[in-house]
Structure 1
């Protein structure tokens, strides 16, 4: 039996949890204020998202806001579970919302080995729920109650619609940061990605803790090294 995932306390009301199994292992973020809490990414389907939601509810009973870092299945296919729990505000980059709507159904096949019901759209909780609150060029500030969160983009990188979530001292970077695996370039803008990583490398004072979409928590120095590797391998 696999151990139950646990939260790593990052300070300032922020937490991260490595959740899922095998190829669906993803970092889930949680930022807790006094009035509401923000969940960063929702996993790959109803089974996964139900586990994530239970872990969230073990920490807080506050109303939830969801931010999807980009339009890949392992980061937004669990949205329906959170909507059914009462989450009303789902945020993403405008380009990610467009890609979710355009490719979401075709991405179902990718989860057949881990979430067969999601792949077949066979039961409640398998519907695709798309964000309706969109970030475009300007950052969006969210007040969770004593904890301010910034939703912003630095430009195309891993995808055209990468959303970064900045909390006090912590940056949830989604797959813009790839720890423990090589960067995936299927939809990527290599030169843009390198520029974004260079920018992140200079943000270490504001965000001494950076959370990749997968893998271990890192620092700004990791972003600099990743940019170097991408330049040298290009």
Structure 2
């Protein structure tokens, strides 16, 4: 079993959950070996280098992919997917966030992940929070990624069910480690994680449908 790990703070609760779970050590080691940014994990998943991973929503629409009902969700604002108005410039680490800017008809430079969070916290008035704009427009959450599987579907389904059963408490030593490495205070990490949810229910499915439909229309018009 090989899991593709996106090492962003927004997935910290899931990685703490995996660390604590009664799982084979080989599986836990695989998470560290296949660690990368979302766009790279997307490619590894397509090539079946990894059995499962959180895949960008825009990528997860392919018919060959089996998505599970958890993902990376912003109910309103998110702070880690932002745009600085000006010349259009994509974040090479992302697929969904770049498309989200297009769907919202916003032009500028897109930033995602922990780097974006740090930029936003330093100068919030300089950036547009894309999840907040989406919510203002559609009154729905935004799903940035879905957990998808190539193999061992029943194993990952059980894992998902256990993950969403109760909130995951992040140990202080892990918080301190991330705060030091990412240059973001422990307090701000805790506050940021309150903005992230993981279950994909009816509202999230509706939001996905709207986003993917609009993205498809844009892709057709530009091809």
TM-score, shorter chain, exceeding 0.5? no
Q: TM-score, normalised by structure 1?
A: 0.28
Larger helix percent: 2
